[in-house]
Amino acid sequence: MQYMDERWFERTKEIVFDVSEIYRFNASMQLSRKERELFLSNEIENPRISYNCEALNVVAVDVRVDALKQEIAASETESLVADFYYEKLDRQVERALLLQATASGDDAAFFASSKVVYGAPKKKYFAYVAARTLSLIETHQKHHPAAAKRLKKVLGKIDVSDLAVDVSMLPSPVKGGKPLQSLAQAIEILQAALDRFGVTGWTIVTREDQLTHFAVDPNGQVIKVPQEELFLSRNLTDVAMRGLAEHEVGVHVRRAFEATKQPLQLLQIGLDHYLKGEEGVASYVQQQLEGAKEFYGFERYLAASLAVGMDGEPRDFRAVFSLMTDYYALKHAELSIDIPPFKPAWDVCVRIFRGTSGTTPGTIYTKDIIYLEGNIGVWNLMSEKPHIFESLFLGKFNPLLTRHVKSLEMLGIIKEW
């Protein structure tokens, strides 16, 4: 196949993976079990989050990007293709600045770069999240009256009279499902998904770390699964695992694989701002199999909104943790599950404050807001245009971004929209 961007793709891909902050955060972030214990026992105000600066070091990204952009400008590259590359490369400079801010301990600069790359919580989505949480409070405050009172004091002042989000479009949760007894069963489901979508060249490997989630590595073309003991701790059913397979293989892997058949190689690693749309599609197809009571990423959006101060009060790690502990106490009462609420509250705070010190109110890593926004966006899109479903899998673009869709139509890649 003759590619439109063959001269620029490999160097761009190298830059993109060089500045992949998730991998670098995982390699550099230092948050000890002792810090967690001291924090949970209220012996310290905030956990001490530190970073190995060597693992955050990225060499001359701005110089490499400028040189590549100059080459593209001097070439006879199709203008739409060139624009895709300019946008993608500019985002990598911002991601490098984000990593530099972490290394230097500049939380304000980190937050500024994060907003450029991923955006910030929006009023209309926060109003929806607040309304749903207030409903939870009203229903279950008798179980945890103090927690309900604290949360209501914060969220009760939010205007929720004109909501732009409708949860009724979600399918009802699928009941039942057989608990999986081994990691081998999960791998079998993942492999079946690879076979069903005709994906070749990808392998399934067991993670070497202690993380419990599944992950896709497009650079190495591998699907990472947790170690067996960690996997079994999740108590997944076959229904939930098939939903995960649809999410990870049916979207993340499939879009990368199908992109190899397109004349624009950049679709293999993602156009600029593709991730919101991709995660929206991934959660959408997962919910088709599992059903859902709530939009994907709800709790992360609540935590992020509380942190940045959508209610007028920016918060640090401790303040967000306290409110999220209250939220999970009520949520667990609704679900009738016996899990200490501080556990998920800790986990969600570690997620949104990674890259920062956790001590500067209002400064977070905003990536986690894209899940809810993307999920809602794709549900709305599919309710309006169900006929475009197969076009979502041509590669890694954002179907919620008109600029992407129109440009890909003009390039002849999207045939139906």
pLDDT of the residue at 337: 87
Rounded distance between C-alpha atoms, residue 138 and residue 20, angstroms = 42
Average pLDDT over residues 357-373: 99
pLDDT of the residue at 9: 98
Identify any residues that bridge with 225 across adjacent strands, giving them in sequence order.
206
Q: Helix, strand or coil for residue 272? A: coil
pLDDT of the residue at 62: 97
By percentage, how much of the chain surpasses pLDDT 70? Answer: 100
Rounded distance between C-alpha atoms, residue 98 and residue 113, angstroms = 5
pLDDT of the residue at 384: 97
Average pLDDT over residues 195-200: 98
β-strand pairing of 222-225 with 203-206: parallel
pLDDT of the residue at 176: 86
Average pLDDT over residues 214-220: 92
Rounded distance between C-alpha atoms, residue 222 and residue 239, angstroms = 23
pLDDT of the residue at 135: 97
The dihedrals phi and psi of 205, each to the nearest 5 degrees, come to: -130, 155
Of the candidates 344, 246, 234, which has an alpha carbon nearest to the alpha carbon of residue 291? 246
* pTM for the full predicted model: 0.96
For residue 115, pLDDT beyond 90: yes
Instruction: Output b/e per residue, 272-304; b: 16+ Cβ within 10 A.
Output: bbbbbbbbbbbbbbbbebbebebbbbbbbbbbb
Residue 116: count of CB within 10 angstroms of its CB:
16
For residue 211, pLDDT beyond 90: no
Describe the crossing of helices 123-140 and 298-308 by its angle, rounded to 10 degrees.
Answer: 110
Rounded distance between C-alpha atoms, residue 261 and residue 198, angstroms = 13
pLDDT confidence tier of residue 210, bands split at 50, 70 and 90: confident
Average pLDDT over residues 400-416: 98
For residue 390, pLDDT beyond 90: yes
Whether 108 and 360 have beta carbons less than 8 Å apart is answered as: yes
Identify any residues that bridge with 362 across adjacent strands, giving them in sequence order.
none
For residue 47, pLDDT beyond 90: yes
By percentage, how much of the chain surpasses pLDDT 90? Answer: 94
Spans of all domains in the chain: 6-118, 123-399
Copy the structure tokens of residue 385.
Answer: 């245009």
Average pLDDT over residues 168-181: 95
For residue 223, pLDDT beyond 90: yes
Please name the helix (run of DSSP H) or strand (run of DSSP E) that holds residue 122, with its range, or none: none
Chain-wide mean pLDDT for the chain? Answer: 97
Rounded distance between C-alpha atoms, residue 378 and residue 381, angstroms = 5
pLDDT (tens digit, 9 = 90+) per residue, 72-93? 999 988 999 999 999 999 999 9
pLDDT (tens digit, 9 = 90+) per residue, 269-296? 999 999 999 999 999 999 999 999 999 9
Average pLDDT over residues 303-331: 98
Q: How many helices (H) and strands (E) are present in the chain, helices listed first?
A: 18, 5
Identify any residues that bridge with 216 across adjacent strands, giving them in sequence order.
223
Copy the structure tokens of residue 273.
Answer: 């701002």
